[in-house]
Amino acid sequence: MDKFIEIKGATFSYVDEYDDPPTKNTVIKNVSLDIDRGEFVAVLGHNGSGKSTLAKLLNAINLPESGDVLIEGMNTKDESRLYDIRKTVGMVFQNPDNQIVATVVEEDVAFALENIGVEPSEIRRRVDEALKTVGMYDYREHAPHKLSGGQKQRIAIAGVLAMKPECIVMDEPTAMLDPIGRREIMSTIKELNASGVTIVLITHYMEEAAQAGRVVVMNDGEVIADDTPKRVFSQAEMLKGVGLDVPDVTDLTHALIKEGLKLPDDIISEDECVDELYKLLKKG
């Protein structure tokens, strides 16, 4: 596989200067992690586990105090490569209102492109393409503040897409959305990944992580699991031991297994569960 992101023994701490003496809180502890080009990786962890801090290491918002983070071989500590790194890895945050800066949708998507001096004709092409990709082209002349939460988040994603990143890191992009908005964003994420964009999704929704190709679980600043969703979510006791859960359908399956039903212990989707129950009913 084509190694795209390399995290090599990275450690990161926050220092509280208001304490006397200042106190240091280490939130990423000697983490090593590789992400291949084109992967869809979900990162799980309870609040304070370090997952959002890890996300910010990937485009140099945070810099490791020890170890290194390499993006296509570019070290995030190299200030001369900062623009290239942030052009390669785009960030989408939890609250879309924090990323929307204009009063018209298409102007918002064009904002960063104008700031870096892209030609007007190329801006027009990129803005239209990005809005079509996220299904928001028909809203290009609307006011962002009048859109739903899911629509605003898709506008924020379009603004990042217009920069042509090879990877998008999304830090809990559905946390403030209703179920419909979450489904819209997950559909957009999967379509982007299918088109070749590398996706790193920070989430606390198990059902979202189950749709990724790989799940990384963090606890207390360390990676404690890194595998396919099926293998990670089959470790229900381990996950619950660190304050996490499993998808509802996995919980149901394990309850049915305890009652004597012969079902696989790695079911993570409703369709899988229905198929397996149907097979049992046919046998019965």
Check if the beta carbon of residue 166 is closer than 8 Å to that of residue 88. yes
- H/E stretch holding 200: strand 198-202
Greatest Cα pair distance in the chain:
70
User: Can you point out the beta strands (E) in 17-154?
Assistant: 23-36, 40-44, 66-71, 74-75, 89-92
Whether pTM exceeds 0.85: yes
Three-state DSSP state, 67:
strand
Structure tokens, 39: 């992967």
Three-state DSSP state, 118:
coil
pLDDT at site 216: 97
Strand 198-202, strand 167-171: pairing:
parallel
Q: What's the average pLDDT block by block, 10 residues per block, for the chain (284 residues)?
A: 90 85 90 96 93 94 96 96 93 89 94 91 95 93 93 92 94 88 90 95 92 96 95 89 88 88 86 89 77
Check if the beta carbon of residue 159 is closer than 8 Å to that of residue 109. yes
Phi-psi region of 172 (alpha: psi -120 to 50; beta: other; left: phi over 0): left
CATH of 3-246, one of 2.30.110.10, 3.40.50.300, 3.30.750.24, 1.10.10.10: 3.40.50.300
Residue ranges per structural domain of the chain = 3-246
Check if the beta carbon of residue 5 is closer than 8 Å to that of residue 71. yes
Structure tokens, 279: 């097979």
pLDDT at site 1: 58
Residues 6 or more apart whose Cβ sits within 8 Å of residue 140? 104, 105, 106, 127, 128, 131
pLDDT at site 284: 62
Q: Which residues pair with 23 in a beta bridge?
A: 16
Torsion of CA 17, 57, 79, 114, to 10 degrees: -110
Structure tokens, 69: 């983070």
How does DSSP classify residue 13?
E
Check if the beta carbon of residue 96 is closer than 8 Å to that of residue 115. no
pLDDT at site 65: 95
- CA distances, 208 to each of 27, 40, 43, 182 (Å): 24, 11, 10, 9
